[in-house]
Structure 1
Amino acid sequence: MSDCLTLFAQCLASGVFVVSAVSKLRDVPGFGVTVQRLAPIPSRVALGLAWTVVLAELLTAGVVWYGDGRPGLLLAGLLSTGLAGIAFRATALPVPVPCRCFGRSTAPLGARHGIRNLVLAALMVAGLVTAGADRPVPPLGGIALAVAAAAVGVIVTVYLDDLAELARP
Structure 2
Amino acid sequence: MTTMRNGSGTPAVVPELGPVGRDVMLRLLQQREDEPVHALAGMLANAYGALVGGDFDTARKVLGDVMAPALDMERALTTLQRANAEAQDAAAALAEIAPAEIDADVAFSGPQLETWREALEASIAAQMELIERLKILQQLAQAAAPEPVGA
TM range (shorter): 0.3 to 0.5
With CA pairs under 8 Å and 6+ residues apart, which has the higher RCO, 1 or 2? 1
Query: TM (normalized to structure 1)?
Result: 0.30
Larger-Rg structure = 2
Q: Which has the higher strand share?
A: 2
